[in-house]
Amino acid sequence: MGKVYYISKNVGLGLLVLGVSALATIIALSIAYDKEKAKNQGRPGDGAADSTSMPTPPATLFTPKEPWDRYRLPDSLVPVSYNVTLWPRLEPNADGLYIFTGHSAVVFKCVKETDLIIIHSNKLNLTNFHGHLAKLSGLDEVTAPTIQKSWLVVKTEFLVLQLRSRLAVGATYVLYIEFQGELADDLEGFYRSEYTEDGVKKVVATSQMQATYARKTFPCFDEPAMKAVFSVTIIHKRGTVALSNGLTLPLPPTERMSTYLLAFIVSDFVSIQSNQNNNLLIRIWARKKAIDDRQGDYALNVTGPILQFYERYYNATYPLSKSDQIALPDFNAGAMENWGLVTYRETALLYDPIVSSTGNKERVTTVIAHELAHMWFGNLVTLRWWNDLWLNEGFASYVEYLGADYAEPTWDMKDQIILYDMYKAFAVDALASSHPLSCREEEVNDPAQISEMFNTISYNKSYLNTFAFDNTEYTDLWDHLQKVGIHIPHTVHDIMNRWTLQMGFPVVTIDTRTGSISQKHFLLDPDSVVDRPSQFNYTWFVPIKWMKTGVEQQQYWLLQKTGTIRVTLTTPLFLTLSGQDWVLANTNVSGYFRVNYDLENWSRLLSLLNTNHKALSVINRAQIIDDAFNLARAKIISTTLALTTTKYLSKEKDYIPWESVLRNLNYYILMFDRTEVYGALQAYLKKQIQPLFEHFRTITANWTRVPSGHTDQYNQINAIGIACSMGVRGCRELIRGWYRQWMETPNHNPIHPNLKSTVYCSAIAFGGTEEWDFAWMKFKNTTVASEASRLRAAMACTKTPWLLNRYLEYTLDPTKIRKQDATSTIQYIAQNVVGLPLAWNFIRARWSYIFQQYGKGSFSFSSLISGITKRFSTEFELQELKKFKEDNLHVGFGSATLALEQAIEKTTANIKWVTENKAQVLKWFTEASK
Ligand SMILES: *[C@@H]1O[C@H](CO)[C@@H](O)[C@H](O)[C@H]1NC(C)=O
Ligand SMILES: *[C@@H]1O[C@H](CO)[C@@H](O)[C@H](O)[C@H]1NC(C)=O
Ligand SMILES: *[C@@H]1O[C@H](CO)[C@@H](O)[C@H](O)[C@H]1NC(C)=O
Ligand SMILES: *[C@@H]1O[C@H](CO)[C@@H](O)[C@H](O)[C@H]1NC(C)=O
Ligand SMILES: *[C@@H]1O[C@H](CO)[C@@H](O)[C@H](O)[C@H]1NC(C)=O
Ligand SMILES: *[C@@H]1O[C@H](CO)[C@@H](O)[C@H](O)[C@H]1NC(C)=O
Ligand SMILES: [Zn+2]
């Protein structure tokens, strides 16, 4: 694929082994064995880094005249090592400003003759030495040129030194700089996090360098390929601890590493540790109270096994001398894989056995597994540039399931695998405004474009794409594939190019009456225009696993637009079909595509579901539903056919098919919960969910226990949540009873942790001010992060407008709602049908303020736009959205720019869909609920 990986020489060999073994496993998973396809999880919250909505980088290909006006570093200098000293002040100075000071000496080598030194520096005040912003000297008796002029370029974030003569190729030099920066609460670079413990305000200095914030901490060559070794000194007060990537004292330098993986933290946190892995020091750090409450124990328990698993999986020992993981009160992403010092949101690392739910626990396991996977892939082997980020994230998102499965073998992680990540990728990648996974380096330049690369497509559309290592390895793949007896019709390289160099994915149509099979680019909105040409004409090489009446058939490769599917080499499919025979393709979602059939086969599949749904695996049941709903959205099949796939649900007890239905019906709920259709929908869903609600009542002995199965626990949550909102008798009373009981004995919460989110939300939705105020009081007082985030979401469920408006005001007051939580809280409010218009007015009225405070480079910011506009489905709302865009052009939308475009596109599609479907949907639900 012409991908170049920057591998430092001394580790390259180990990684070659990694490449082959990972590929073998992934190929095996994706093509050979059908059981473990699809990626993952319905767990609440997001995966590893933030769930985001996705933007494409606009291709601004221009070549500025001066080298410092370009965003990329010139290729004349490479860093070798840095000595960095940092001194963060955890108390404000006389001007009320929190600052840090520091100095750095970078040793760099000249590889191309130049009289310019260009190095990144952003928002740092540099000390002036005799009129210049740095001191330059030569190493090994080289004489350094004198500096003629030095200046900062704000736009491209560079410090530039113009020299009087040229640097010599092959010589090394030292650049010494002293600087002072603000320890702001902006969650970028070296920043300040505040929290209160026992009524005392505490300040932590911590860091987030990815993607482009190391340069805001000290001047550096801040690109991923510019690896170097770092010797770090942190000055801090007695009574606090300083942490960085390596062990402290006697201060050995780090391994060769990229600047975006550095981390510096000064806090009064405490840790627990173990040495179970061959004397590797493993520590979990957090606030003292959290550690005292044993909230770090679970993370410590799973880290050792997960590291052991990866050492075996990658066939390479853990590359560093220690593994620190730390839970921070203020953190923008879900977690960040800094080498040897991984930072987490508290909810992603801390688990309280008493108050946390099964979902919380699963999240802790999978996020840890994800971040630790990066310690090798991403950190040891690093992408050359951010355009290949998808590979880094795709790979980690894939292996996190293997690591988590190893740590928690009873959870069936590999069964839950993928459907949900895959669904997310399907959803965004079916839009005309999607983008290919791979783009050229030149298309990703400035920091905003780099931030946009961290999007859902990169995170989720990737299990297939992890094949895409470079050419030296595909012969090994070929060997492996031959060994497992699979015929592949082209090289892996050719096959993969079609999946990574063009956007989207196909819908494959099988006509069982003739055996003909064809593919077409799948677009959710059939009228949208794709203006991005593809060198492959939106045709893929599609490996199709399929079964006939329960019997797995030989895999079929669709290599053209159309083909003919056969049961044996010569027997056409249609000759062998009779009576009740059915065909199901893409078994267990082993491929990244959707499937459509002729109506006869659809009705055979539907009757199979109604009579004997267990003849199909849970993943296939879920897939039939998900494909049908999406094909209906794209007007390839009728809406009523899609709805008919849900008729068998009164018999369905499994989580994955139910989750698939609920996610798809969610679109109907969003489109119709402000219309008369909602009454009929509610009546239908009430009828379908009732047996599931009774089922759980029975197996939990009247709600006195929780089910033992991991996914049954999730499905119980769905059953109660839907039953209550659809008005199943007894549900609201049950929930109100639990919540009342808690209000009467506030120090004893009788609600099982798994059910808390649902119970809090329903109790607040069907309760009044008293229930809300109780939740707020609990929210302010809890010391458990997961409990706080549940309460924060639940308070958005109230149907009382003034409570919602007051809550919206709270989101912009950091003493009430933390800055990191502001955008997601506004989104929670917008999810509530009563809260939507209030939230929309709120952000329109304050866009420029919100943008300044939360806009720049923030992950969750683009999802604010997509969250708020989800229900938009009227011409009036479309006009409002367009006006919002126009009115705020001067303010800008930053990383939400593309989200706004997509919101306009989606609203347009929603309007059309509602117009075309409302009448038949109303009719269908009315009849089906009888
Ligand atoms: C970096 O620090 C080490 C240890 O103090 C010292 O030996 C070395 O000379 C320093 N390098 C530079 C370029 O200042
Ligand atoms: C940097 O310098 C500017 C201008 O003198 C000053 O306003 C700002 O406070 C300084 N920043 C820090 C962190 O010292
Ligand atoms: C951690 O492991 C220990 C020893 O196996 C066990 O007793 C403890 O319950 C575990 N803690 C958690 C939170 O899982
Ligand atoms: C693992 O690495 C060792 C040493 O680097 C090598 O000898 C061995 O063949 C590797 N094993 C596999 C399965 O690649
Ligand atoms: C794509 O389609 C065009 C027009 O139909 C055709 O000329 C071209 O050869 C096709 N390219 C590929 C790679 O199939
Ligand atoms: C559950 O409650 C119902 C009615 O209150 C009762 O008839 C039934 O025996 C109870 N079942 C169990 C398992 O406790
Ligand atoms: Zn990651």
CATH code of the domain in which 565 resides? 2.60.40.1910
Closest C-alpha residue for ligand 3 atom 1 = 301
Domain boundary among 354, 385, 415: 354
Q: What is the dihedral of CA 506, 510, 514, 519, to 10 degrees?
A: 0
> Is any ligand 1 atom within 6 A of the Cβ of residue 184?
no
Atom 11 of ligand 1, nearest CA residue? 83
Is the distance from the beta carbon of residue 537 to the nearest atom of ligand 5 less than 6 Å?
A: yes
Going by CA atoms, what residue is nearest to atom 13 of ligand 5?
536
231 lines ligand 1 (CB under 6 A): yes
- Most ligand 1 atoms within 8 A of CB, residue of 80, 82, 83, 176 to mutate: 83
Dist. CA 905 → ligand 5 center (Å)? 28
Q: Does residue 769 form part of some domain?
A: no
* Residue bearing the CA closest to ligand 4, atom 5: 14
Distance between CA atoms of 41 and 421, rounded to whole angstroms? 7
Distance 489 CA to ligand 1 centre (A): 57
CATH number of the domain to which 82 belongs: 2.60.40.1730
- For ligand 4, the distance from its centroid to the CA atom of residue 905, given in whole angstroms, is 51
CA–centroid distance, 256 to ligand 2, in Å, is: 33
DSSP 539-583: ---EEE-EEETTEE---EEE-SSEEE-BSSSS-BGGGG--TT--E
**What does the pLDDT read at residue 442?**
59
CA distances to 11, 251, 286, 485 from 456, in Å: 30, 39, 29, 34
Measured from the CB, is residue 529 less than 6 Å from ligand 6?
A: no
Measured by CA distance, the residue closest to atom 12 of ligand 6 is 701
Q: Which atom of ligand 4 is nearest to the CA of 20?
A: 14
Judge whether 104 and 219 are in contact, CB under 8 Å: yes
DSSP state of 188: S
Closest-lying ligand 2 atom to the alpha carbon of residue 125: 1
Ligand 2 touching residue 128 (CB < 6 A):
no
Question: Which residues are close to ligand 7, an ion, with C-beta < 5 A?
Answer: 48, 393, 396
Is residue 125 within 6 Å of ligand 2 at its C-beta? Answer: yes
Query: Coil, strand or helix: which one is 74?
Result: coil
Residue nearest to atom 7 of ligand 2 (CA): 125
User: For ligand 6, is residue 698 a contact (CB within 6 Å)?
Assistant: no
Shortest-distance ligand to the CA of residue 336: 7
Is ligand 2 within 6 A of the CB of residue 181? Answer: yes
Q: End-to-end CA distance of the chain, in Å?
A: 57
Cα–Cα distances in angstroms (integers) from residue 531 to residues 534, 789, 900, 908, in the given order? 9, 41, 18, 17
374 is annotated as contributing to ligand binding: yes
Would 407 be classed as within a structural domain? Answer: no
Instruction: Measure 180 CA to ligand 2 centroid, in angstroms.
Output: 8
Please, are residues 775 and 794 in contact by the beta-carbon 8 Å criterion?
yes
Cβ–ligand 6 contact at 701 (below 6 Å): yes
Out of 537, 539, 540, 559, mutate this one to test ligand 5's pocket (max ligand atoms within 8 Å of CB): namely: 537
Domain boundary among 354, 381, 401: 354
Give CA angle at 330 (123, 385), nearest 5°.
55
Q: Relative to the alpha carbon of 536, which ligand is closest?
A: 5
Residue 55 included in any domain: no
Ligand with smallest separation from the Cα of 136: 1
Q: Is the CB of 354 under 6 A from ligand 3?
A: no
Q: Whose CA is nearest to atom 8 of ligand 6?
A: 702
> Do 88 and 266 meet the contact criterion of CB atoms below 8 Å apart?
yes
Ligand in closest contact with the CA of 297:
3
Q: What is the pLDDT of residues 42-95, one digit of tens each?
A: 222 222 332 222 233 334 455 678 999 988 899 999 999 999 999 999 999 999
- Tell me, in angstroms, the distance from the centre of ligand 4 to residue 527's CA: 53
Between CA 406 and CA 695 the distance in angstroms is: 31
Which tokens is 908 given? 């347009």
Which bound ligand lies closest to the C-alpha atom of 123?
Answer: 2
Positions marked active-site: 371
Crossing angle of helices 9-27 and 389-407, rounded to 10°: 70
Residue bearing the CA closest to ligand 3, atom 10? 298
Q: Tell me the pTM.
A: 0.76
Q: List C-alpha distances in Å: 356 to 561, 688, 755, 910.
A: 50, 30, 10, 38
Closest CA to 325 of 378, 268, 281, 389: 281
Measure 350 CA to ligand 3 centroid, in angstroms: 13
Is 751 within the bounds of a domain? no
Residue ranges in the chain modelled with pLDDT below 50? 1-60, 453-461, 463-486
Ligand 6 atom nearest to 702, measured from its CA: 1
User: Is residue 787 included in any domain, yes or no?
Assistant: no
Closest residue CA from atom 11 of ligand 4: 315
- Measured from the alpha carbon of residue 314, the closest ligand is 4
Q: Which of 15, 17, 18, 311 is the pocket-test mutation for ligand 4 (most atoms within 8 Å of CB)?
A: 17
Verify whether ligand 6 is closer than 6 Å to residue 704 (CB atom): no
* Domain that includes residue 883, residue range: 800-919
Q: Which of 97, 99, 124, 125 to mutate to test the pocket of ligand 2 (most atoms within 8 A of CB)?
A: 125
Q: 776 with 804: CB under 8 angstroms?
A: no
pLDDT for 905 equals 87
Rounded CA gap, 516 and 513, in Å? Answer: 8
Residue 518 lies in a domain: yes
Residue nearest to atom 4 of ligand 5 (CA): 537
Looking at residue 216, the DSSP 8-state letter turns out to be: G
Distance from the alpha carbon of residue 17 to the mean position of ligand 4, in angstroms: 7
How many whole angstroms separate alpha carbon 361 and alpha carbon 408?
Answer: 10
From the CB of 101, is ligand 2 less than 6 Å away?
no
Domain limit, last residue, from 354, 370, 405: 354
- For the CA of 315, the nearest atom of ligand 4: 1
**Ligand 5 close to Cβ of residue 560 (< 6 A):** no
Residue closest to 790 by CA, chosen among 823, 822, 825: 825
Cα 680 from Cα 95, distance rounded (Å): 62
Cβ–ligand 3 distance for 304 under 6 Å, the answer no
**Ligand 6 pocket, 702 CB below 6 A?**
yes
Whether residue 425 is contained in a domain is answered as: no
Consecutive H or E run containing 229:
strand 229-234
Angle between helix 655-672 and 710-726 (nearest 10): 30
Residue 40's contacts (CB-CB under 8 Å, 6 or more residues apart) are 47, 401, 413, 416, 417, 418, 419, 420, 421, 422
**How many structural domains comprise the chain?**
3
From atom 10 of ligand 1, which residue's Cα is the shortest distance away?
83
Residues with CB under 6 A from ligand 4: 17, 21, 315
Residue 331 is assigned to a structural domain of this protein: yes
Indicate whether residue 514 lines ligand 5 (CB < 6 A): no
